[in-house]
């Protein structure tokens, strides 16, 4: 085993676990090698650990420190990283210099994962005395669709979930949800010299976008959640047509909705189809996450030194929250370093994360 949390993080970074969706920037993709490493590490600590296949070659690793009959508390960082394309440092180098550890995942989220694991390592003798049965899951696929957390949330029932994310050791108890919708209009292509003989898909989409900008966005701004504020919408991508002298028969737009608890996007879909009855709408997303700030586990996290905050981004905790399980996100490092071309985490922050999670476990015991 590694001798320090820094060495552990370096080992984690040196195991490529890039999400294969989109353009990963490498042929070394998938989470299996990472899951196998984590299973071995956790077994050395005395946990029962197994790999649970979610997608071919892409398992979750799920472990428990057996304490039957107690409520279950899950530590849940994700094992995948975003693409390494365009990085200016060795993505899998794990180099330590200038008081930092460098590489893909150093911040998001192998740093928080290493801090959690090292705290469990240094606290393993006291785990049996805790009022909770401690579980650990390395979740695959968080960076694209979150199938890992969806699968585990369906398989197991937990009483509280602590997701590992770089939050500067602040407890994120509420996040907006997201819905990434692809809107598609279809027309009929003809020569541009006779546009009246065709049907322009871009014009149809223009009507839809006018509705998004002039009706839907202002309506969302008037809604307000007491903790998370207003939901938002942003049009982020558009493409249509093949050549300037051809009336376009297809136009596609990508729209990002950030939702709040209690919000129903079905009314939005219905309004868009009123504008364009044959509009095609596809999409994926994550529900919002909200955990009451007076929960006993949040009290323990605050006693360990964390403040309470919210975030506009989403995480695996949303998939547990959707099933009624209280969840938060917390970990060392900054979200500002996530997904960057020279990703790093400060050694001091990493070590502070270990100390924090140890205090948290102790607070659970005392509480």
Reported as a single tens digit per residue, the pLDDT across 21-47 is: 999 999 999 999 999 999 999 999 999
- Return the domain boundaries, the chain: 5-175+288-366, 177-286
pLDDT (mean) for 45-70: 97
Give the list of residues 6+ apart from residue 322 with CB closer than 8 angstroms, or none.
153, 287
| Domains 5-175+288-366 and 177-286 agree in fold | no
pLDDT score of 285: 82
Q: What is the 3-state secondary structure (H, E, C) of 323-352?
A: CCCCEEEECCCCHHHCCCCCCEEEHHHHHH
Residue with tokens 């320090």: 4
Q: Which residues, in sequence order, are bridge partners of residue 18?
A: 29, 81
Residue indicated by tokens 């029962």: 48
Tell me how far apart the alpha carbons of residues 42 and 201 are, in angstroms, rounded to a whole number: 55
Identify which of 311, 309, 335, 315 has the alpha carbon closest to the alpha carbon of residue 327: 315
The span from the CA of 275 to the CA of 313, in Å, is 30
pTM score, whole prediction: 0.89
pLDDT of residue 257: 95
Q: Whole-angstrom distance between the N-terminal and C-terminal Cα of the chain?
A: 32
CA-based radius of gyration for the chain: 23
If you write DSSP's letter for every residue of 21-90 in order, what string do you get?
A: SS--SSS-B-SHHHHHHHHHHHHHTT-EEEEEEEETTEEEEEEE---TTSPEEEEEEB--B---TT-SS-
Contact of 47 with 64, CB cutoff 8 Å: yes
Class of domain 5-175+288-366: alpha beta
Is the pLDDT reported for residue 183 higher than 90?
Answer: yes
Predicted local distance difference test score (pLDDT) of residue 69: 96
pLDDT confidence of 313, banded at 50, 70, 90?
confident
Q: Name the packing angle between helices 266-275 and 201-211 (round to 10°).
A: 140
Q: How far apart are CA 203 and CA 211, in angstroms?
A: 13
Residue pair 164/76 in contact by the 8 Å Cβ criterion: yes
**pLDDT for the residue numbered 292:** 95
Residue-averaged pLDDT of the chain: 96
321 closest CA partner among 286, 292, 289 = 289
- Give the CA angle between residues 176, 177, 182 to the nearest 5°: 135
Query: How many percent of the chain have pLDDT more than 70?
Result: 100
* DSSP for 292-330, written as a single string: -TT-HHHHHHHHTT--EEEESS--THHHHHTTT--EEEE
Say what the pLDDT of residue 196 is.
97
**Domain 177-286, classified CATH 3.30.465.10, yes or no:** no
Decide if 177 contacts 317 (C-beta within 8 A). no
364 near 131, Cβ under 8 Å? yes
DSSP 360: H
According to DSSP, residue 276 is labeled S
| Residue 367 pLDDT exceeds 70 | no
In the block, which residue shows the tokens 């809107």?
183
16 near 80, Cβ under 8 Å?
A: no
Full DSSP string of 243-289 = -TTB--SEEEEEEEEEE-TT--THHHHHHHHHHSTT-EEEEEEE--E
Q: How far apart are CA 149 and CA 216, in angstroms?
A: 31
What is the per-residue pLDDT for 263? Answer: 87
Mean local confidence (pLDDT), 109-134: 97
pLDDT reported for residue 284:
80
CA distance 186 to 253: 12
Contact between 202 and 280 (Cβ < 8 Å)? no
Residue-level pLDDT at 89: 98
């Amino acid at each position: 085993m590694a001798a320090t949390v820094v060495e552990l993080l370096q080992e984690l970074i040196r195991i490529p676990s890039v999400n294969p969706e989109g353009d990963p920037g490498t042929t070394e993709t998938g989470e299996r090698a990472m899951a196998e490493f984590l299973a071995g590490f956790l077994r050395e600590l005395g946990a029962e650990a197994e790999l649970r296949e979610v997608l071919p070659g892409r398992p979750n690793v799920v472990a428990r420190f057996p304490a039957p009959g107690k409520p279950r508390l899950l530590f849940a960082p994700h094992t995948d990283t975003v693409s390494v394309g365009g990085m200016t440092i060795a993505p899998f180098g794990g180099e330590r210099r200038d008081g930092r550890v460098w590489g893909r995942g150093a911040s998001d989220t192998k740093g928080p994962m290493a801090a959690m694991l090292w705290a469990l390592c240094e606290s393993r003798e006291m785990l049996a005395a805790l009022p909770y049965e401690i579980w650990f899951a390395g979740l695959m696929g968080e960076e694209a669709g979150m199938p890992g957390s969806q699968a585990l949330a369906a398989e197991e029932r937990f009483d509280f979930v602590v997701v590992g994310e770089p939050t500067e050791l602040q407890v994120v108890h509420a996040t907006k949800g997201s819905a990434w919708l692809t809107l598609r209009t279809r027309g009929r292509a003809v020569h541009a010299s006779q546009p009246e003989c065709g049907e322009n898909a871009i014009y149809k989409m223009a009507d839809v976008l006018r509705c998004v900008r002039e009706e839907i966005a202002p309506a969302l701004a008037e809604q307000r959640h007491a903790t998370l504020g207003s939901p938002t919408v942003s049009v982020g991508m558009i493409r249509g047509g093949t050549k300037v002298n051809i009336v376009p028969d297809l136009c596609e737009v990508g729209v990002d909705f950030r939702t709040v608890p209690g919000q129903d996007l079905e009314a939005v879909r219905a309004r868009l189809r009123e504008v364009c009855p044959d509009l095609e709408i596809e999409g994926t997303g994550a529900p919002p996450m909200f955990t009451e700030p007076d929960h006993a586990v949040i009290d323990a996290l605050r006693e360990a030194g964390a403040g309470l905050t919210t975030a506009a981004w989403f995480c695996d905790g949303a998939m547990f929250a959707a099933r009624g399980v209280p969840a938060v996100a917390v970990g060392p490092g900054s979200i500002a370093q996530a997904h960057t071309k020279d990703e790093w985490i400060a050694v001091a922050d990493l070590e502070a994360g270990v100390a924090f999670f140890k205090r948290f476990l102790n607070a659970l015991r005392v509480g």
